[in-house]
């Protein structure tokens, strides 16, 4: 349920991790953003909504827990013509993982969970449960297959109101581990499904009740609920490009469970960020451990810590997670140096919040002229080590995606299994909206596990730019395709 616009799992994240320094925001900072600061945010929202046909968006910016900007755009309910407002509730998808990780760490503090114990100690029927630890689950380094990627999941299970965690786990029970636990990062919702089962097994109460009693109530997260709120008031309906004005049937909380079942308002996540990073729930050393990606063997890269990713914007640490379920895409981003929280919600899984988060951060912390100059240079200057033949193949593959006409005979088995017409249409529509490429700039490559090499390109177009990762395996098969807005 992390929203990643790519197919298959061979392409790993390429950015490095940074330390989390402590710094305060300016005490004389204005309580509200000025019109000049709001303008680039609202321009980024308009572009993102147009590119993905998203019907409704919510953007909230806070400093030190004080909201300095909150705005709704478009409609939360097209049929009823109801607008998105600052208090609209959205499904937050995989941002749920931040709360699941915190629940595990609370139980560890209570002495009821040992992070380096095998998962089977707490969930005996967990597949391969003696081969990986609770810590591996938190850090997404188990190699467990992803239950939401099982063929037929969307059609048979995603909206079920009766499916149990054990039945979800059974969907991948016979799948082998993708790699030796602890050696690689690979995002799998199954990891956080098992963690939720551990919460229930150890605490003796349902996951939803644990999150409510141990996290939501103490921190004042008044609209944080497992599934939609009972009264269904001010809840965003979801829409996709394929369905037009017809609201989609949302995934059920039973089908996403501890990997993605929570709903919230932006203000809930602002309070959550301030409480979490302020040490009100867990102590500073635990927060640091949860937000610092591990060192993996052999130099393998990961930006995933424990329910949080750690990257940078303009050299500033950004600790975040996003979430994507049918009918919603969301992000919760926190900048610890400046005590800035940025929360962006959209009611389409195809919505991409990346450019909005960047615009919102820069509205408060403008980049230097040197940073802007370096950014402009990187947009057109190829990195060293480019292979002309690979670039030609990558360009051809990009154009096939833009045309929506793929030839998967050169894709590896995992890629072919992950392909579906809806994803191709969605990505194709986004690339078409950008326009024909004006530049295809090589930005570097990285060797990944299993003989896979990831080649990174910046694709400039009239209406924006894309970071395009094209991965091939040792046999020359395409093992990963990854599109995100270029930063």
Write the pLDDT tens digit of every residue in 62-92. 999 999 999 999 999 999 999 999 999 999 9
Nearest CA to 149 out of 1, 339, 329 is that of: 1
Choice among 65-69, 392-396, 466-470, 481-485 with the minimum mean pLDDT: 481-485
How far lies 363's CA from each of 14, 23, 41, in Å? Answer: 26, 19, 7
Q: Output the pLDDT for position 440.
A: 93
The two tokens of residue 243 are 């369905």
Q: Pick from 434, 435, 448, 437: which is nearest to 479 by CA?
A: 448
pLDDT at 465: 85
Does the pLDDT of residue 474 top 90, yes or no?
A: no
pLDDT at position 278: 97
Each residue's pLDDT tens digit, 282-337 = 999 999 999 999 999 988 888 999 999 999 999 999 999 999 999 999 999 999 99
- Both tokens assigned to 85: 């407002």
Of all helices (H) and strands (E), which one includes residue 71?
A: strand 66-77
Report the side by side order of strands in the sheet with 262-264. Answer: 90-91, 262-264, 225-226
Question: What does the DSSP assignment read for 152-178?
Answer: THHHHTTT-SS--HHHHHHTTTTPPPS
- Asked whether residue 261 carries a pLDDT value surpassing 60, the answer given is yes
Do 178 and 10 contact (CB within 8 A), yes or no? no
Quote the DSSP letter at residue 304: B
Confidence at residue 471, expressed as pLDDT on a 0 to 100 scale: 92
Query: Is 50 exceeded by the pLDDT of residue 243?
Result: yes
Please give the C-alpha separations between residue 126 and each of 106, 131, 237, 259, 321, in angstroms, as whole numbers. 22, 10, 34, 16, 25
CA-CA-CA-CA torsion sign (76, 77, 78, 84): negative
CATH T-level assignment (fold) for domain 380-485:
Nuclear Transport Factor 2; Chain: A, (3.10.450)
* Rounded Cα gap, residues 487 and 478, in angstroms: 25
Distance in angstroms between the alpha carbons of the first and the last residue of the chain: 22
What pLDDT shows up at residue 30? 53
Domain edges within the chain: 1-367, 380-485
Instruction: Provide the pLDDT for residue 32.
Output: 93
Cβ contacts of 134 within 8 Å, gap of 6 or more? 104, 113, 114, 115, 116, 117, 119, 122, 195, 198
Q: Label residues 230-240 b or e (16+ Cβ within 10 Å = b).
A: eeeebbbbbbb
Mean pLDDT score across all residues of the chain: 89
> Which CATH class name applies to 1-367?
alpha beta
Q: How many CB atoms sit inside 10 A of residue 43's CB?
A: 13
Mean pLDDT of 247-273: 97
With a threshold of 0.85, does the pTM exceed it? no
- Average pLDDT of the residues in 179-190: 94
- The edge-to-edge listing of strands for the beta sheet with 340-346 is 82-83, 66-77, 56-63, 340-346, 328-335, 316-325, 309-313
Kindly report which listed range (56-60, 145-149, 430-434) carries the lowest average pLDDT score: 430-434
Per-residue burial over 255-289, b if 16 or more Cβ lie within 10 Å, else e, is bbbbbbbbbbbbbbbbbbbbbbbeeebbeeebbeb
List the beta bridge partners of residue 72. 58
Residue 54 confidence (pLDDT) above 50: yes
Q: List for the chain the helix, strand, coil content (%; round to 5).
A: 35, 20, 45
In angstroms, how far is CA 90 from the centroid of its own chain? 15
């Amino acid at each position: 349920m992390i929203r990643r616009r790519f197919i298959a799992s061979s392409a790993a994240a390429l950015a490095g991790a940074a330390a989390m320094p402590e710094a305060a925001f300016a005490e004389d900072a204005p309580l509200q953003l000025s019109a000049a600061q709001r303008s680039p945010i609202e321009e980024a929202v308009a572009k993102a909504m147009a590119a993905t046909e998203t019907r409704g968006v919510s953007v909230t910016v806070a400093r030190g827990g004080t909201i300095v900007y909150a705005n709704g755009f478009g409609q939360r309910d097209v049929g009823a013509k109801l607008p998105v407002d600052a208090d609209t509730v959205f499904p937050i998808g995989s941002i749920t993982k931040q709360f699941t990780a915190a629940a595990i760490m609370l139980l560890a503090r209570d002495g009821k969970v040992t992070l380096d114990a095998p998962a089977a100690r707490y969930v005996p029927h967990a597949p391969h449960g003696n081969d990986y630890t609770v810590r591996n689950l938190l850090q997404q380094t188990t190699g467990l297959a992803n239950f939401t990627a099982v063929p037929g999941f969307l059609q048979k299970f995603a909206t079920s109101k009766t499916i149990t965690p054990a039945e979800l786990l059974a969907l991948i029970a016979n799948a082998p581990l993708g790699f030796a636990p602890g050696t690689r990062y690979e995002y799998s919702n199954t990891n956080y499904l098992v963690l939720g089962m551990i919460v229930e097994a150890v605490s003796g109460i349902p996951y939803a009740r644990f999150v409510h009693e141990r996290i939501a109530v103490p921190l004042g997260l008044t609209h944080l609920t497992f599934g939609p709120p009972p009264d269904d008031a001010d809840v965003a309906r979801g829409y996709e490009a394929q369905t037009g004005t017809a609201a989609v049937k949302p995934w059920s909380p039973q089908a996403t469970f501890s990997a993605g079942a929570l709903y919230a308002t932006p203000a809930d996540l602002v309070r959550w960020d301030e409480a979490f990073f302020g040490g009100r729930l867990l102590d500073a050393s635990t927060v640091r451990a949860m937000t610092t990606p591990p060192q993996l063997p052999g130099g393998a890269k990961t930006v995933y810590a424990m329910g949080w990713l750690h990257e940078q914007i303009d050299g500033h640490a950004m600790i975040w997670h996003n979430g994507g379920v049918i009918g919603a895409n969301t992000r919760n981003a926190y900048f610890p140096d400046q005590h800035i929280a940025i929360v962006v919600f959209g009611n389409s899984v195809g919505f991409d919040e990346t450019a909005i988060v960047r615009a919102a951060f820069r509205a408060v912390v403008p980049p230097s002229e040197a940073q802007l100059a370096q950014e402009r240079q990187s947009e057109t200057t190829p990195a060293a080590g480019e292979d002309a033949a690979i670039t030609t193949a990558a360009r051809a593959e990009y154009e096939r995606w833009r045309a929506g006409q793929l030839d998967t005979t050169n894709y590896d088995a995992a890629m072919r299994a992950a392909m579906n017409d809806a994803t191709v249409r969605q990505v194709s529509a986004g690339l078409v909206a950008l326009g024909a490429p004006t530049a295809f700039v090589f930005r570097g490559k990285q060797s990944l596990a299993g003989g896979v090499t990831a080649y990174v390109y910046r694709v400039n177009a009239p209406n924006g730019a894309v970071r395009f990762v094209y991965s091939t395996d040792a046999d020359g098969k395409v093992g990963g395709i990854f599109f995100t807005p270029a930063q």
